[in-house]
Structure 1
Amino acid sequence: MNIKNKSLLKTAVLAGTAAYLHLQNTWIQKTEYTIPVKHLAPENEGLKIVQLSDIHLPKEKINLNKLIDMTKAAEPDFIFLTGDQIQGEALFDPTVAEKLFRKLAAIAPTYAITGNHDRHSPMFHIAVDLYKKNGIRLLDDEAISVVAKGRKPIVIMGLSDKSSAIQKITKDFLKKIRLRKDWQGQTRLLLAHRPEHFLKYHTDPEKSADVTFAGHAHGGQIRIPKVGGLFAPGQGRMPQHTEGVYLLPTDPDKKLVVSRGIGGSSFPFRINNRPEMVVVTLTHDTVPEGEE
């Protein structure tokens, strides 16, 4: 191969790699799960939730208008924002965040929790104000009972993200969350940013959620087929919980949904790990879980 051909081949490889990395970080994937819930009210059959996690404004890289269109097309009953809506050390444009939050809340009732980046952001108070202004309910170690149109009530619990020191000594992560007696029997859904504490979210059987929604792991950042993600914060190398649906070892009726998330963070690239919008449909029938 002559020098000219080698140069053309090198250019083509570099261009192909750049195109691949661009698509891996900007092309949103919709992942759908149908999850059986024990004792789900018949009226809540087919209840649909869109989960958006780890947007990391302003490091989202995706087209936010496309994300809004995809969310609207899914026709959810609820939208869950499971932490790290904003990047910890970066300054985001409040007008961009406001547009996103306003349009999401116009699609369906939207609930948010904090992630570690939210807590550390110098603009966190601005994000909180934008939630309130645009109709998004921030759940800070609290639970509410809500009803979608034509449905029966469900309980949505939101866990605020804790510092690493507190996480190490805390045995019951849901200790501050209060459930009313008249909510007994309602399906319980938990928004909790960190999937690595799945077991600790079920310490108290009275608060144990039927389905927990988490993010934080970024899909393991680099994914290898049949192996999974290579690294995740809070889990380290070869993490266990990076995407998909997991069963609680002590009670398989309890599920954990982990989103790969949407935005970038400290690591600059996603590889074999596209930004993800998760759509969860609840059913009282026993059906296989997984992507369509």
Structure 2
Amino acid sequence: MNNKKTLINTALLTAGTAAYLYVQNTKFQVSRYAVPIKKLAPENEGLKIAHLSDLHFPYTKINLDALIKTLKKEQPDLIFLSGDQMDAAEPERTAEAHAFLKRLPDIAPTYAVEGNHDNKVKNHTHIYQGTGVTYLDNTAYSVMLSGRKPVVVMGVPEPSPFGKVQKDFLAKMTIRPDWAGQTRLLLAHRPELFKKYHADASKAPDVVFSGHAHGGQIRIPGIGGLFAPGQGRLPKYTAGVWALETDPTKHLVISRGLGPSHFPFRINNRPELIIATLENHS
């Protein structure tokens, strides 16, 4: 009798664990953040940005149709992809990524930067051709949206592992003088470089959108993520909204990502779609 009860309990525990891991790794959740902006134009109050990161095609496990449906319902002003759209393990399988990217600009103007996985995929920029997605490579645009004042959308590529240590990641970026006063939004894959994105105050963004950390993979309440590439154990920047220590009016928005990593499971760390709304800094 005891053996039978033990078997039943074991089966229930196994089934429960499997169901939990299935939800944790395939069911995305929507995280909503209000991001304060210093001297935000009144017309841009409530400007909404959908932030996607680390899709890792072709290994994405979430329901992409459900993601598109959610994006349409949210009606964002902009969609940002902050890197690792592709996974370096299968660089030739680009069809899934290309098909998904084509669906985004019909919802809102869409901008993307590369991540460390994209960087390892030869000629990875061809996945954007014909999609309507704007790929940012040390480039910046003043973007006019219906009913809004223009904002500057900027993007920096993945730093080269063979290059010199960069002190200023926006050194190659051109910010036109006539864009003065426009809110600056930067797409940059790595959150651990947050301070370096502000090395040049004349180009510094108001908000940085990053991913890469996958939420620390395993999240412990009250502690956060356990490991992130580039940060190691108990990393600082894995999720949420952070203020720059030297200037609290500057912020970093970190996505936990939508796709998998080489570690097989997300634990207490579901895939995440971020909806960031700009509000005037009081």
Shorter-normalised TM-score: what interval?
Answer: over 0.9
The residue identity in structure 1 corresponding to 2:54 is: D
| Corresponding residue of 1:229 | 225
| Corresponding residue of 2:197 | 201
| Corresponding residue of 1:117 | 117
Measured after TM superposition, the shift of residue 93 of structure 1 is: 4.2
User: In structure 1, how many angstroms separate the alpha carbons of the residues matched to 2:98 and 2:194?
Assistant: 32
| 1:156-175 alignment, distance < 5 Å | 156-166=153-163, 169-175=165-171
Give the secondary structure class of the aligned counterpart of 1:72: helix
Residues 1:182 and 2:178 are matched in the alignment: yes
| Corresponding residue of 2:23 | 23
| Corresponding residue of 1:6 | 6
| Corresponding residue of 2:150 | 153
Q: Contact (CA 8 Å) 1:141, 1:160: kept in 2 or not?
A: yes
Give the secondary structure class of the aligned counterpart of 1:164: coil
User: In structure 1, how many angstroms separate the alpha carbons of the residues matched to 2:129 and 2:177?
Assistant: 28
Q: Contact (CA 8 Å) 1:28, 1:277: kept in 2 or not?
A: yes
| Corresponding residue of 1:108 | 108
Q: Contact (CA 8 Å) 2:141, 2:152: kept in 1 or not?
A: yes
| 1:207-246 alignment, distance < 5 Å | 207-246=203-242
The residue identity in structure 1 corresponding to 2:119 is: R
The residue identity in structure 2 corresponding to 1:153 is: P
User: In structure 2, how many angstroms separate the alpha carbons of the residues matched to 1:148 and 1:267?
Assistant: 39
Measured after TM superposition, the shift of residue 94 of structure 1 is: 3.5
User: In structure 2, how many angstroms separate the alpha carbons of the residues matched to 1:68 and 1:92?
Assistant: 24
| Corresponding residue of 1:251 | 247
TM-score (ref. length: structure 2): 0.97
Figure out how many residues of one structure are paired with residues of the other and give that number: 282
Q: Contact (CA 8 Å) 1:58, 1:92: kept in 2 or not?
A: no
Give the secondary structure class of the aligned counterpart of 2:142: strand
Residues 1:135 and 2:132 are matched in the alignment: yes
Q: Contact (CA 8 Å) 1:210, 1:254: kept in 2 or not?
A: yes
Give the secondary structure class of the aligned counterpart of 2:19: helix
Give the secondary structure class of the aligned counterpart of 2:250: strand
Residues 203-246 of structure 1: per-residue CA shift (max 9 Å, x gap) = 00001110000000000000001110000000000000000000
Q: Contact (CA 8 Å) 1:58, 1:91: kept in 2 or not?
A: no
User: In structure 2, how many angstroms separate the alpha carbons of the residues matched to 1:24 and 1:207?
Assistant: 39
User: In structure 1, how many angstroms separate the alpha carbons of the residues matched to 2:277 and 2:125?
Assistant: 28
Q: Contact (CA 8 Å) 1:89, 1:120: kept in 2 or not?
A: no
Q: Bigger CA drift: 192-201 or 89-98?
A: 89-98
The residue identity in structure 2 corresponding to 1:3 is: N
User: In structure 2, how many angstroms separate the alpha carbons of the residues matched to 1:45 and 1:87?
Assistant: 36
Residues 255-289 of structure 1: per-residue CA shift (max 9 Å, x gap) = 00001001001111100000000001001153xxx
TM-score (ref. length: structure 1): 0.94
| Corresponding residue of 1:267 | 263
Runs of 4+ in 1 over 4 A off after TM superposition: none
Residues 131-154 of structure 1: per-residue CA shift (max 9 Å, x gap) = 120100000011111111111111
The residue identity in structure 2 corresponding to 1:66 is: A
The residue identity in structure 1 corresponding to 2:96 is: V
Q: Give the unaligned 5+ runs of structure 1.
A: 287-292
Q: Contact (CA 8 Å) 1:159, 1:192: kept in 2 or not?
A: yes
Measured after TM superposition, the shift of residue 165 of structure 1 is: 4.2
Measured after TM superposition, the shift of residue 42 of structure 1 is: 1.0
Measured after TM superposition, the shift of residue 91 of structure 1 is: 4.3
User: In structure 2, how many angstroms separate the alpha carbons of the residues matched to 1:87 and 1:72?
Assistant: 26
The residue identity in structure 2 corresponding to 1:9 is: N
Measured after TM superposition, the shift of residue 72 of structure 1 is: 1.2
Q: Bigger CA drift: 34-43 or 157-166?
A: 157-166
The residue identity in structure 2 corresponding to 1:229 is: G
